[in-house]
Amino acid sequence: MRTTSRPRLLPLLALAGLTTALLTGCSLEQDAVCAGGQYPVLAVNDAGSDCVDDGAEPAPGWARYPRGKVPEHVDDKWYEYWRTRTLDENGRIVAAPEV
């Protein structure tokens, strides 16, 4: 007589779902704006951002985000904020040009 326990199936299905999500590139966490060992910078008087290695200064035409207003993850509060703003050559927050 065969006695298979159905409750064992649920954990296996959950594990299969998690494995599929991870293998297909779905993430359970938000994507970081920059890779480890880097920090984000934004284009001065222009739309756009980039990442710079920790310890390096931004190239001419690029600036660090103001302290406390640095985006850390894609689509976080500051990521959304800077979609429509940038810094001018004096470090003032201004409207970003439309792209």
Q: Per-residue pLDDT tens, the chain, 99 aa: give them.
A: 565 555 676 666 666 666 665 555 555 567 999 999 999 999 999 999 999 999 999 999 999 999 999 999 999 999 999 999 999 999 999 999 987
Residue pointed to by tokens 């199936």: 9
pTM over 0.85: no
Supply 70's token pair: 């640095």
What are the angstrom distances between the C-alpha of 59 and each of 9, 20, 43, 49, 78? 56, 41, 10, 12, 22
Burial (0-12, 13-18, 19+ Cβ within 10 Å), 78: middle
